[in-house]
Protein backbone atom coordinates (compact mmCIF):
# COMPACT_ATOMS: atom_id res chain seq x y z
CA UNK A 1 0.00 0.00 0.00
CA UNK A 2 1.05 3.63 -0.42
CA UNK A 3 2.95 4.83 2.60
CA UNK A 4 1.23 8.17 2.76
CA UNK A 5 -2.26 9.54 3.18
CA UNK A 6 -3.98 11.15 0.17
CA UNK A 7 -6.85 13.62 0.45
CA UNK A 8 -9.71 14.10 -2.02
CA UNK A 9 -12.01 17.00 -1.10
CA UNK A 10 -15.53 16.50 -2.43
CA UNK A 11 -16.96 19.39 -4.42
CA UNK A 12 -20.41 18.23 -3.30
CA UNK A 13 -19.70 20.57 -0.38
CA UNK A 14 -18.21 23.36 -2.51
CA UNK A 15 -19.92 26.49 -3.86
CA UNK A 16 -20.50 25.52 -7.49
CA UNK A 17 -21.17 29.18 -8.39
CA UNK A 18 -17.55 29.85 -7.37
CA UNK A 19 -16.06 26.55 -8.48
CA UNK A 20 -12.77 27.98 -9.72
CA UNK A 21 -12.16 29.76 -6.42
CA UNK A 22 -13.14 26.71 -4.39
CA UNK A 23 -10.80 24.49 -6.42
CA UNK A 24 -7.93 26.94 -5.97
CA UNK A 25 -8.56 26.76 -2.22
CA UNK A 26 -7.78 23.00 -2.23
CA UNK A 27 -4.64 23.20 -4.37
CA UNK A 28 -2.74 21.09 -1.79
CA UNK A 29 -5.15 18.16 -2.25
CA UNK A 30 -4.25 15.01 -4.16
CA UNK A 31 -7.57 14.57 -5.98
CA UNK A 32 -10.81 16.46 -6.59
CA UNK A 33 -13.68 14.13 -5.72
CA UNK A 34 -16.68 14.59 -8.02
CA UNK A 35 -19.83 12.91 -6.74
CA UNK A 36 -22.12 12.08 -9.66
CA UNK A 37 -25.67 11.25 -8.52
CA UNK A 38 -28.58 10.49 -10.83
CA UNK A 39 -31.61 10.73 -8.55
CA UNK A 40 -32.28 7.03 -9.22
CA UNK A 41 -29.45 4.91 -7.81
CA UNK A 42 -29.32 7.42 -4.96
CA UNK A 43 -31.99 9.92 -3.84
CA UNK A 44 -30.18 13.03 -5.03
CA UNK A 45 -29.22 14.68 -8.33
CA UNK A 46 -25.84 16.37 -8.69
CA UNK A 47 -23.21 16.66 -11.41
CA UNK A 48 -22.87 15.58 -15.02
CA UNK A 49 -19.99 15.42 -17.50
CA UNK A 50 -19.98 19.20 -17.99
CA UNK A 51 -18.95 19.72 -14.37
CA UNK A 52 -16.06 17.30 -14.87
CA UNK A 53 -15.03 19.32 -17.94
CA UNK A 54 -15.19 22.51 -15.87
CA UNK A 55 -13.03 20.97 -13.15
CA UNK A 56 -10.44 19.94 -15.73
CA UNK A 57 -10.38 23.46 -17.20
CA UNK A 58 -9.59 25.21 -13.95
CA UNK A 59 -7.32 22.85 -12.00
CA UNK A 60 -4.49 20.41 -12.60
CA UNK A 61 -5.54 18.28 -9.61
CA UNK A 62 -6.65 14.84 -10.89
CA UNK A 63 -10.42 14.37 -11.09
CA UNK A 64 -11.65 11.43 -9.02
CA UNK A 65 -15.13 10.82 -10.45
CA UNK A 66 -17.49 8.70 -8.36
CA UNK A 67 -20.46 7.44 -10.36
CA UNK A 68 -23.43 6.88 -8.07
CA UNK A 69 -25.69 6.10 -11.00
CA UNK A 70 -27.88 3.18 -12.00
CA UNK A 71 -26.43 2.67 -15.49
CA UNK A 72 -22.61 2.98 -15.39
CA UNK A 73 -22.33 0.55 -18.32
CA UNK A 74 -24.03 3.14 -20.54
CA UNK A 75 -22.68 6.36 -19.06
CA UNK A 76 -19.03 5.75 -18.25
CA UNK A 77 -17.86 6.88 -21.70
CA UNK A 78 -19.25 10.39 -21.20
CA UNK A 79 -17.15 10.90 -18.08
CA UNK A 80 -14.05 9.52 -19.74
CA UNK A 81 -14.55 11.93 -22.65
CA UNK A 82 -14.97 14.74 -20.12
CA UNK A 83 -11.45 14.05 -18.84
CA UNK A 84 -11.91 12.02 -15.66
CA UNK A 85 -8.57 10.75 -14.36
CA UNK A 86 -10.16 8.13 -12.10
CA UNK A 87 -13.64 6.67 -12.60
CA UNK A 88 -15.25 4.66 -9.84
CA UNK A 89 -18.60 2.96 -10.32
CA UNK A 90 -20.78 0.96 -7.95
CA UNK A 91 -20.65 -2.82 -7.95
CA UNK A 92 -24.34 -2.86 -7.10
CA UNK A 93 -25.26 -0.96 -10.29
CA UNK A 94 -22.96 -2.59 -12.85
CA UNK A 95 -24.14 -5.24 -15.29
CA UNK A 96 -20.69 -5.98 -16.77
CA UNK A 97 -18.10 -4.78 -14.27
CA UNK A 98 -15.08 -6.20 -16.11
CA UNK A 99 -16.21 -4.53 -19.33
CA UNK A 100 -16.51 -1.16 -17.59
CA UNK A 101 -13.05 -1.53 -16.03
CA UNK A 102 -11.59 -2.38 -19.44
CA UNK A 103 -13.25 0.66 -21.04
CA UNK A 104 -11.81 2.92 -18.35
CA UNK A 105 -8.33 1.50 -18.81
CA UNK A 106 -8.59 1.71 -22.60
CA UNK A 107 -9.28 5.44 -22.20
CA UNK A 108 -6.09 5.86 -20.16
CA UNK A 109 -7.85 6.44 -16.84
CA UNK A 110 -7.73 4.58 -13.54
CA UNK A 111 -10.62 2.26 -12.63
CA UNK A 112 -12.28 1.83 -9.28
CA UNK A 113 -15.23 -0.04 -7.82
CA UNK A 114 -17.27 1.20 -4.87
CA UNK A 115 -19.12 -0.93 -2.33
CA UNK A 116 -22.15 0.29 -0.39
CA UNK A 117 -22.16 -0.31 3.39
CA UNK A 118 -24.25 -3.51 3.12
CA UNK A 119 -22.21 -5.01 0.23
CA UNK A 120 -19.58 -7.53 1.41
CA UNK A 121 -15.94 -7.29 0.42
CA UNK A 122 -16.28 -10.75 -1.18
CA UNK A 123 -17.94 -8.98 -4.13
CA UNK A 124 -14.43 -7.92 -5.20
CA UNK A 125 -13.03 -11.43 -5.26
CA UNK A 126 -13.14 -11.93 -9.04
CA UNK A 127 -12.00 -8.44 -10.04
CA UNK A 128 -9.59 -7.12 -7.40
CA UNK A 129 -6.53 -7.74 -9.59
CA UNK A 130 -7.94 -5.41 -12.27
CA UNK A 131 -8.64 -2.43 -10.04
CA UNK A 132 -6.61 0.70 -9.40
CA UNK A 133 -8.91 1.77 -6.58
CA UNK A 134 -11.43 0.31 -4.15
CA UNK A 135 -13.90 2.75 -2.61
CA UNK A 136 -15.58 1.70 0.62
CA UNK A 137 -18.66 3.78 1.40
CA UNK A 138 -18.74 4.70 5.07
CA UNK A 139 -22.24 6.16 4.72
CA UNK A 140 -25.18 5.20 2.57
CA UNK A 141 -24.59 7.19 -0.61
CA UNK A 142 -26.75 10.08 -1.69
CA UNK A 143 -26.09 12.99 0.66
CA UNK A 144 -23.17 14.82 2.21
CA UNK A 145 -22.74 15.45 5.93
CA UNK A 146 -23.67 11.98 7.17
CA UNK A 147 -22.08 10.20 10.14
CA UNK A 148 -19.38 7.57 9.63
CA UNK A 149 -20.59 3.96 9.96
CA UNK A 150 -18.25 2.19 12.46
CA UNK A 151 -18.47 -1.19 10.68
CA UNK A 152 -16.51 0.38 7.83
CA UNK A 153 -13.30 -0.24 9.76
CA UNK A 154 -13.88 -3.99 9.65
CA UNK A 155 -14.48 -3.85 5.90
CA UNK A 156 -11.27 -1.87 5.39
CA UNK A 157 -9.29 -4.55 7.20
CA UNK A 158 -10.92 -7.17 4.97
CA UNK A 159 -10.02 -5.22 1.81
CA UNK A 160 -6.45 -4.80 2.98
CA UNK A 161 -6.20 -8.54 3.72
CA UNK A 162 -7.62 -9.43 0.29
CA UNK A 163 -5.12 -7.16 -1.43
CA UNK A 164 -2.22 -8.67 0.53
CA UNK A 165 -3.41 -12.18 -0.31
CA UNK A 166 -3.56 -11.37 -4.05
CA UNK A 167 -0.39 -9.26 -4.10
CA UNK A 168 -2.10 -6.13 -5.45
CA UNK A 169 -1.94 -2.51 -4.30
CA UNK A 170 -4.99 -0.49 -5.34
CA UNK A 171 -5.74 2.74 -3.58
CA UNK A 172 -8.20 2.09 -0.77
CA UNK A 173 -10.56 5.03 -0.54
CA UNK A 174 -13.18 5.90 2.08
CA UNK A 175 -16.08 8.26 1.50
CA UNK A 176 -18.52 9.55 4.10
CA UNK A 177 -18.18 11.17 7.50
CA UNK A 178 -14.38 11.46 7.29
CA UNK A 179 -12.51 14.16 9.18
CA UNK A 180 -9.51 14.82 11.36
CA UNK A 181 -11.20 13.20 14.37
CA UNK A 182 -11.45 9.73 12.80
CA UNK A 183 -8.80 9.81 10.07
CA UNK A 184 -6.20 7.95 12.15
CA UNK A 185 -8.47 4.97 12.80
CA UNK A 186 -9.58 4.84 9.18
CA UNK A 187 -6.01 4.80 7.90
CA UNK A 188 -4.92 2.30 10.55
CA UNK A 189 -7.65 -0.04 9.28
CA UNK A 190 -6.30 0.11 5.73
CA UNK A 191 -7.35 3.25 3.85
CA UNK A 192 -4.89 5.57 2.13
CA UNK A 193 -7.23 7.92 0.23
CA UNK A 194 -9.72 9.94 2.26
CA UNK A 195 -12.67 11.79 0.76
CA UNK A 196 -13.61 14.83 2.83
CA UNK A 197 -16.45 17.18 1.97
CA UNK A 198 -17.74 19.32 4.81
CA UNK A 199 -14.58 18.58 6.82
CA UNK A 200 -12.70 20.66 4.24
CA UNK A 201 -15.25 23.01 2.70
CA UNK A 202 -16.88 23.68 6.05
CA UNK A 203 -13.68 25.38 7.23
CA UNK A 204 -12.51 28.87 6.30
CA UNK A 205 -8.93 27.73 5.70
CA UNK A 206 -9.30 24.76 3.35
CA UNK A 207 -5.54 24.17 3.05
CA UNK A 208 -5.25 23.96 6.83
CA UNK A 209 -8.18 21.54 6.97
CA UNK A 210 -6.53 19.29 4.36
CA UNK A 211 -3.25 19.36 6.28
CA UNK A 212 -4.99 18.54 9.56
CA UNK A 213 -6.78 15.50 8.09
CA UNK A 214 -3.61 14.32 6.36
CA UNK A 215 -1.52 14.57 9.53
CA UNK A 216 -4.19 12.80 11.57
CA UNK A 217 -4.28 10.03 8.99
CA UNK A 218 -0.50 9.69 9.00
CA UNK A 219 -0.61 8.91 12.70
CA UNK A 220 -2.73 5.89 11.75
CA UNK A 221 0.00 4.61 9.45
CA UNK A 222 2.35 4.23 12.41
CA UNK A 223 -0.23 2.12 14.25
CA UNK A 224 -0.82 -0.42 11.49
CA UNK A 225 0.02 -3.97 12.50
Q: Is 125 a catalytic residue?
A: no
Q: How far is the CA of 115 from the CAs of 53, 126, 174, 200, 204, in angstroms? A: 26, 14, 10, 23, 32
Tell me which of 22, 38, 64, 175 is the catalytic residue: 175
Residue 176 and residue 185: Cα distance in Å, rounded?
14
Q: Is 38 a catalytic residue?
A: no
Q: Which long-range contacts link 78-81 to residues 24+ away (Cβ below 8 Å)?
A: 78/48, 78/49, 79/36, 79/49, 79/52, 80/104, 80/107, 80/109, 81/49
Would you call 71 helix, strand, or coil by DSSP?
A: coil
Tell me which of 35, 38, 85, 132 is the catalytic residue: 35
Tell me which residues are annotated as active site: 35, 175
Amino acid sequence: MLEDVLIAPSILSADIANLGQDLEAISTADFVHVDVMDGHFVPNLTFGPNVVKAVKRVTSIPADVHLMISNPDDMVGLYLEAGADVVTFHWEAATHAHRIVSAIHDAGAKAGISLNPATPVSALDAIIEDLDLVLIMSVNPGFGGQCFIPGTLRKLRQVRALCAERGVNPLIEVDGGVGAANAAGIVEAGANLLVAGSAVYGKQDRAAAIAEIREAGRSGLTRRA
